[in-house]
């Protein structure tokens, strides 16, 4: 092996001018940036900051407008109770959206799982714990099918879950025969189904187990997304699936695991739903899929995947909760709530696009 | 060339529908050398590299690594065998940090309970390793190892990708068009990086369109034409225009395969 020509004369003739050029390469520009650029940079590295600021401002606004009526432990924990289900389903939605997908079937899977838990107990007389396990299994199965169709068949997530939404919802009505299981029956025969409706009272604050479970679930997923290889891979897959694959991430397996976990979390939401409304109703939670997407979007997660924090989703859900309850207490037409949430959704996406420009 | 090739391929065939991208292509890489692969657009360079790096599975033919026949079904398997590839698109996740990217797919976990049961990543170890590697390759103008890759310049991204390959590639490093998107100065840095890596004894497979760069660093040049190896030339015996003439078919090779 002989030495290459590089040893005899370094580089090519046109490059000789380089010897007199500075030797530093492509250093970061550390010169002062404008205040606006700094804000942009801060938000780029702290994706949950925008929804947190909006949340704090909206609480402050309603606190000032309504005083003690809003700013009491009871009202504030009531908001938490009202967003618990959306928060749990939003956690599932977050995982899917981080992979640049979308899950329209979350609400339907939740309701079907809760119906399975109820009917298995009351129709077949199974022990409630077994029925709950069956509910989780059905949720996981629905999610797994979504995952297989997205990852293996390469169908667009929007289409897959749009179809799954209809299929699961129809199965739910067919199987339950549109029958509601009454709250009293559940309380008498299978109180564990209403477990997440029980609560802790601290002064005026009422924390249901559902609220606590939602907060713990978000905290757990936050840890997993940020501190485990699986979590980093969720981001990598959503960011650029081809790059992730070439870098050694098994993209298919990741997608299937994300959709399956989404189904399991929805089943969990189904259980919490029984606690929240007391009964098992096949018509409950009609808008949960849209509400979960709203929470995710207002929470600053990018629908293009790979960006955002699950904490943002929680803040997004709380913002919607604060506006809903705050405006109701003010006594306005509830349509104002929807109008404002619509504005927030568009504003959130506009801000996301602006923050992304930091990269260019 | 006395040694056995470290990586070789015989009779590789890859068809995409009615297009034959690889038509019984052969290939040899010897220990400690830089082998450049050149060829016109559509000659099948990329398909050959993908077959070797596990990104596509060839329809026919065999690949041998250190004399052992290997069948890679994914880039991960090739990587586990010690073949690291820097793809033209770099295969970096823009929103993830430099350290995250270097360890994507082979993350380190904390020792003890936190790693085993909570599967917590060992951030500190990964960051210091990444920092060391970048320093080694003279890339530590990058201040913050937790910077998202999308905030880096093209040359810095290339540097991160090459550093990743150099850090983990134990047997072979494949570089696909490493200077294509770079400026003059950044290209120079990457070429030095390539020579640096060879000095440490790791053979390199370099795919490039840039004749001056190829002639500068390559020990041998594999000319690919119409889906197969046309010939292998020594850059000292041929001029750049000869090489271009060969790869476009304007000139026929003197001997079938010169080593």
B114 in Cβ contact with A254 (< 8 Å): no
- State the first-to-last Cα distance of chain A, in angstroms, to the nearest integer: 44
B190 in Cβ contact with B216 (< 8 Å): no
Each residue's pLDDT tens digit in chain A (360 positions)?
Answer: 444 444 444 455 666 665 555 544 444 444 456 777 777 778 777 888 889 999 999 999 999 988 888 888 899 999 999 999 999 999 999 999 999 999 999 999 999 999 999 999 999 999 999 999 999 999 999 999 999 999 999 999 999 999 999 999 999 999 999 899 999 999 999 999 999 999 999 888 889 999 999 999 999 999 999 999 999 999 999 999 988 988 888 899 999 999 999 999 999 999 999 999 999 999 998 889 999 999 999 999 988 888 899 999 999 999 999 999 999 888 888 898 889 999 989 998 888 888 777 655
Encode pLDDT of A118-152 as tens digits.
Answer: 999 999 999 999 999 999 999 999 999 999 999 99
A87 in Cβ contact with A320 (< 8 Å): no
A24 touches chain B (CB under 8 A): yes
Chain B residue with the nearest C-alpha to that of A251: B105
Q: Work out the minimum CA distance from B19 to partner chain A, whole angstroms.
A: 23
CA B235, B241, B243, B244 dihedral sign is positive
- pLDDT value, residue B2: 56
B167 touches chain A (CB under 8 A): no
Encode pLDDT of A33-89 as tens digits.
Answer: 677 777 777 877 788 888 999 999 999 999 998 888 888 889 999 999 999 999 999
- pLDDT value, residue A11: 52
A44 touches chain B (CB under 8 A): yes
Contact check, Cβ <8 Å, A359/B148:
yes
**Mutate which of B96, B121, B145 to test chain A, going by most A C-beta atoms within 10 A?**
B96
**What single-letter DSSP state applies at residue B121?**
B
Contact check, Cβ <8 Å, A4/B100:
no
A227 touches chain B (CB under 8 A): yes
B143 in Cβ contact with A28 (< 8 Å): yes
Q: Which residues of A touch B141 (CB under 8 A)?
A: 24-28
A5 touches chain B (CB under 8 A): yes
Encode pLDDT of A292-303 as tens digits.
Answer: 999 999 999 988
Radius of gyration (C-alpha) of chain B in whole angstroms: 19
Nearest-angstrom CA–CA distance, A314 and A307 = 15
A-B interface: how many C-beta pairs under 8 angstroms?
128
Q: Work out the minimum CA distance from A193 to partner chain B, whole angstroms.
A: 29
Q: Which residues of A touch B217 (CB under 8 A)?
A: 4, 6
Contact check, Cβ <8 Å, B184/A18:
yes
Contact check, Cβ <8 Å, B141/A359:
no
Contact check, Cβ <8 Å, A12/B212:
yes
Structure-token pair, residue A73 = 């432990």
Contact check, Cβ <8 Å, A235/B96:
yes
Q: Find all residues with CB under 8 Å of B13, minimum gap 6, and list them.
A: B20, B22, B23, B24, B25, B58, B59, B60, B61
- pLDDT value, residue A1: 42
Its ipTM equals 0.80
Q: Which residues of A touch B216 (CB under 8 A)?
A: 4-6, 11-12
Identify the residue whose tokens are 């983990």.
B168
H-helix or E-strand spanning residue A314:
helix A310-330
Instruction: State phi, psi for A52 to the nearest 5 degrees.
Output: -65, -45
A25 touches chain B (CB under 8 A): yes
A335 touches chain B (CB under 8 A): no
Instruction: State phi, psi for B225 to the nearest 5 degrees.
Output: -150, 130
Structure-token pair, residue B108 = 């380190």
Structure-token pair, residue A65 = 């407008």
CA A8, A14, A20, A26 dihedral sign is negative
Encode pLDDT of B93-136 as tens digits.
Answer: 888 888 888 888 888 888 888 877 778 888 888 888 888 888 77
Chain A residue with the nearest C-alpha to that of B191: A11
Q: Which residues of B touch A1 (CB under 8 A)?
A: 32-33, 219
- pLDDT value, residue B53: 86
- pLDDT value, residue B255: 60
Which superfamily is assigned to B7-95+148-248 in CATH?
A: P-loop containing nucleotide triphosphate hydrolases (3.40.50.300)
Q: Which residues of A touch B56 (CB under 8 A)?
A: none
Chain B residue with the nearest C-alpha to that of A304: B95
**What single-letter DSSP state applies at residue A197?**
G
A252 touches chain B (CB under 8 A): no
B259 touches chain A (CB under 8 A): no
Instruction: State phi, psi for A249 to the nearest 5 degrees.
Output: -95, 135
Distance of CA B246 to the CA centre of its chain: 23
Chain B residue with the nearest C-alpha to that of A236: B93
Domain ranges across chain B = 7-95+148-248
Nearest-angstrom CA–CA distance, A304 and A51 = 18
Mean residue pLDDT across chain A: 88
Beta bridge partners of B228: B225
- pLDDT value, residue B139: 67
Candidate from B32, B101, B195 with C-beta closest to A1: B32
Which residue numbers in chain B have pLDDT < 50? 1, 258-259
Contact check, Cβ <8 Å, A243/B92:
yes
Nearest-angstrom CA–CA distance, A65 and A211 = 26
Contact check, Cβ <8 Å, B105/A249:
yes
A23 touches chain B (CB under 8 A): no
- pLDDT value, residue A33: 60
**What single-letter DSSP state applies at residue B57?**
-
Q: Work out the minimum CA distance from A69 to partner chain B, whole angstroms.
A: 43
- pLDDT value, residue B79: 85
Residue A26's region, left for phi above 0, alpha for psi from -120 to 50, else beta, is: left
Distance of CA A300 to the CA centre of its chain: 11
Q: Kindly state the greatest CA–CA separation across chain A.
A: 91
Domains of chain A and any CATH numbers: 48-355 (1.10.3470)
Query: For the whole prediction, is pTM greater than 0.95?
Result: no
A-contacting residues in B 111-140 (Cβ below 8 Å): 118-121, 123
């Amino acid at each position: 092996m002989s030495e290459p020509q590089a040893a005899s004369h370094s580089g090519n003739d046109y490059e000789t001018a380089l010897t007199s050029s500075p030797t530093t390469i492509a250093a970061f520009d550390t010169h002062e940036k404008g205040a606006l650029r700094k804000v942009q940079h801060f938000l780029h590295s702290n994706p949950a900051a925008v929804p947190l600021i909006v949340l704090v401002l909206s609480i402050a606004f309603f606190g000032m407008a309504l005083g003690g009526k809003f700013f009491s432990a009871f009202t504030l924990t009531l908001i938490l109770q009202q967003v618990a289900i959306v928060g749990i389903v939003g956690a599932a939605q977050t995982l899917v959206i981080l992979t640049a997908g979308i899950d329209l079937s979350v609400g339907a899977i939740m309701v079907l799982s809760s119906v399975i838990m109820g009917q298995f107990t009351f129709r077949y007389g199974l022990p409630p714990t077994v029925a709950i396990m069956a509910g989780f299994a059905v949720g996981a199965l629905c999610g797994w099918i979504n995952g297989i169709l997205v990852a293996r068949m390469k169908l667009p997530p929007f289409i897959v879950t749009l179809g799954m939404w209809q299929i699961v919802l129809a199965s739910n009505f067919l199987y339950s025969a549109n029958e509601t299981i009454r709250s009293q029956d559940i309380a008498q025969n299978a109180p564990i189904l209403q477990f997440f409706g029980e609560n802790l009272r601290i002064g005026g604050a009422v924390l249901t187990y559902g609220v606590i479970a939602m907060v713990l679930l978000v905290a757990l997923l936050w840890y997993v997304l940020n501190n485990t290889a699986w979590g980093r891979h969720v981001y990598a897959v959503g960011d650029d699936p081809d790059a992730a694959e070439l870098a050694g991430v098994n993209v298919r397996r990741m997608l299937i695991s994300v959709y399956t976990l989404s189904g399991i979390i929805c089943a969990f939401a189904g259980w919490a739903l029984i606690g929240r409304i007391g009964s098992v109703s096949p018509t409950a939670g009609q808008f949960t899929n849209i509400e979960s997407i709203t929470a995710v979007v207002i929470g600053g997660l990018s629908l293009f995947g790979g960006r955002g924090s699950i904490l943002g989703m929680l803040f997004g859900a709380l913002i919607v909760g604060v506006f809903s309850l705050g405006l109701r207490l003010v006594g306005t037409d509830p349509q104002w709530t929807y109008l404002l949430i619509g504005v927030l959704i568009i504003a959130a996406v506009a801000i996301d696009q602006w923050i992304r420009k930091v990269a260019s | 060339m006395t040694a056995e090739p470290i990586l070789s391929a015989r009779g590789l065939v890859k068809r995409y529908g009615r297009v034959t991208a690889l038509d019984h292509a052969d290939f040899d890489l010897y220990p400690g050398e830089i082998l450049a692969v050149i060829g016109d657009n559509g000659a099948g360079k990329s398909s050959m590299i993908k077959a070797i790096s596990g990104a596509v599975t060839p329809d026919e033919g065999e690949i041998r690594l250190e004399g052992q026949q290997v069948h890679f079904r994914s880039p991960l398997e090739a990587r586990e065998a010690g073949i690291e590839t820097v793809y033209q698109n770099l295969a970096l996740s823009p929103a993830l940090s430099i350290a995250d990217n270097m360890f994507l797919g082979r993350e380190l976990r904390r020792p003890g309970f936190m790693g085993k049961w909570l599967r917590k990543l060992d951030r500190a170890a990964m960051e210091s390793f990444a920092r060391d590697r970048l320093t080694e390759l003279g890339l530590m103008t990058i201040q913050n190892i937790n910077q998202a890759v999308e905030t880096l310049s093209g040359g810095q991204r290339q540097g991160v990708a090459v550093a990743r390959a150099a850090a983990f590639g134990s047997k072979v490093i494949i570089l696909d068009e490493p200077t294509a998107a770079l400026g003059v100065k950044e290209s120079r840095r990457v070429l030095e990086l390539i020579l640096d890596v060879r000095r440490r004894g790791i053979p390199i497979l370099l795919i490039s369109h840039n004749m001056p760069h190829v002639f500068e660093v390559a020990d041998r040049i594999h000319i690919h034409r119409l889906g197969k190896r046309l010939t292998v030339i020594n850059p000292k015996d041929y001029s750049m225009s000869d090489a271009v003439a060969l790869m476009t078919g304007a000139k026929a090779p003197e001997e079938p395969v010169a080593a």
